[in-house]
Amino acid sequence: MLARRRLLAFTQKINPRYLPGWVHEDICRRLERFSREVEEGKSPRLMLLMPPRHGKSELASRVFPAWHLGRCPDHEFIACSYNVSLAMSFSRKVKEVINDPVYEAIFDTRLHPDFQAAEEWAIKGHRGGYVAAGVGGGITGKGAHILTIDDPIKNAEEAQSADLREKLWEWYTSTAYTRLAPGGGVLIIQTWWHDDDLAGKLQNAMKADDEADAFEVVKYPAIAEADEWLDTTTDEIIRVEHDEPAATRDDDAPTCRMRAVSRAHARGLNVGHLRYLRAKGEALHPARYGLSRLLQIRKTLPTQWWSALYQQNPVPDEGVYFTKDMFRSGPSPRLADCYVSVAFDFAISEKQQNDYTVGTVTLLDSDDILHFVDRVRFKSADADFIVKSIVNLCKKWHNPSIQLGVEDGQIYRAISAPLKREMARQRVYPSLQLLKPITDKQARARTLQGRMQQGMVSFSDKAEWYDQMRTEMLRFPSGVHDDQVDSAAWNAIMVAGRQPPRKQLARPMKSWKDRLAGAGDGTHMAA
């Protein structure tokens, strides 16, 4: 029976009115794999980050436990939420599913008649069962093949409390995590409230320590910030960033897909093994929250809460290297009045396989202010695409002063010859500077940090990429990605020894008397 093997089919059997979107199909597929890996004792780790009211708990905390216990009745669950009341509410919903006649027609699993309390219940004739607990509560003596944590933070007040975030972390590491059975799995389902909450700490731990638990982290923003594709060979969601206008309500689905395919091809991606999900600007689950509704919500929320709750991209309170008060934004100066620098940071090592290649453009004005005016960011390793990206950016911002900085390494050596040919073909001739990473990223960031502390850096106030870049800089050096920081730092280093351009004083217009006087002695009349 399909419902025994497929979680989505099971969900629709239990609730025939359930209308899934692609996001729920994706979640079900990941939960199925998680379940199989628990059965096989592979210690899976899965983190699903999703906006509120989009159906994450319905699948992960109500339907999934019942489905898994139907397949593995000897397994034990520990399910936690921000308080015991909510955890017991999930527990009751799981029991309702198991007691449903539809469930009984699919699985042989039954509840123990004498052991059915909301906080703890057991499976009849098996060792399996379910324990509900609040975050921070005691679960001593209990074991778990699956530990689920669903929304460990209640609200903004809790998210902003450093003490509560630290207590949550201590509870997870010293209490909850220790209850896992050998080969057991950890499933975290939450809205990502704060950069330093449980989800944030676990991601930072992954980056800082190769021995830390390797979570599969899946983020589902309410409104797509790039075209989204599923790589069916790796299960990674590929985001193709671009500067084209976002999808609108006037664009039909085929049109959006056609444009997304064209952009993916331009990135050198093989769409043969990619599954199209949605275009930039589209809602995550329009049947529940359409784009108009989401845009209304965005207007009512402070930017930081929209970014966290709905886009799953919380902005840190303060950074270690860069703080909020360092950031200035405003209009860009005239290209002709500035020195231009373009710097590229390549994702090159195996450890950087999930990092981006980033190019940033700066204009240095006569007041020695460094203006960040453009940025490209992509994951493609295709040499032709990298070359085209570099040349197109240099062509877009070309003036006689332009200099191009690229990291000296295996990527540059691979693209050096085709890059020079393409530059010559398009008649783009920047001054080339090879950037040698003799210091680490943190040391390189100091030059940019110093400029920003003095108020000598500005960011384009109309750039779509500004918020994303600002967030990454605030998280540096503990954030998951640092490629934008490194490219920006290279730009600051490139202009460090450069004198700002002289101010171009406007030549005064000649009066009509001067022009008439000049006509008589053979001088040119034009101003």
Residue 458: inside a domain, yes or no?
A: yes
Residue 420: inside a domain, yes or no?
A: yes
Residue 301: inside a domain, yes or no?
A: no
User: For 475-521, what is each residue's pLDDT tens digit?
Assistant: 888 777 889 999 999 999 999 878 888 765 434 445 544 545 554 44
Domain total in the chain:
3
User: For 408-433, what is each residue's pLDDT tens digit?
Assistant: 888 899 999 999 999 999 999 999 99
Residue 95: inside a domain, yes or no?
A: yes
- Which structure tokens are listed for 267? 């990135």
Both 36 and 20 in one domain: the answer is: yes
- Beta bridge partners of residue 81, listed in sequence order: 134
What is the DSSP secondary-structure string of 443-489? HHHHHHHHHHHTT-EEEETT-TTHHHHHHHHHHTTTSS--HHHHHHH
What is the DSSP secondary-structure string of 273-287? GEEEEE-TT-BS-TT
Cβ atoms of 299 and 291 closer than 8 Å? no
> Amino acid identity of 388?
K
We report the CATH number of the domain holding residue 40 as 3.40.50.300
User: For 353-384, what is each residue's pLDDT tens digit?
Assistant: 457 899 999 999 999 999 999 999 988 668 89
Quote the pTM value: 0.77
pLDDT, residue 527, reads 33
Both 205 and 247 in one domain: the answer is: no
Look up the domain containing 470 and give its range.
331-495
Both 342 and 448 in one domain: the answer is: yes
- The domain boundary, picked from 169, 202, 219, lies at 219
- The domain boundary, picked from 241, 265, 282, lies at 282
- Dihedral angle of Cα 461, 352, 347, 417, to the nearest 10 degrees: -170
Both 233 and 210 in one domain: the answer is: no
Both 255 and 210 in one domain: the answer is: no
Question: Alpha helix locations (H) across 40-135?
Answer: 56-57, 64-71, 84-99, 101-106
- The domain boundary, picked from 219, 243, 259, lies at 219
Residue 307: inside a domain, yes or no?
A: no
Rounded to an integer, what distance in angstroms lies between the CA atom of residue 295 and that of residue 283? Answer: 10
Phi, psi of 54 (to 5 degrees): -115, 15
Residue 171: inside a domain, yes or no?
A: yes
Cβ atoms of 60 and 24 closer than 8 Å? no
C-alpha distances (whole Å) from 187 to each of 136, 313, 370, 459 are 17, 20, 45, 39
**Helix orientation angle between 383-396 and 410-426, rounded to the nearest 10 degrees:** 50
Rounded to an integer, what distance in angstroms lies between the CA atom of residue 313 and that of residue 246? Answer: 19
User: For 434-450, what is each residue's pLDDT tens digit?
Assistant: 998 878 888 999 999 99
Both 345 and 265 in one domain: the answer is: no
Cβ atoms of 159 and 148 closer than 8 Å? no
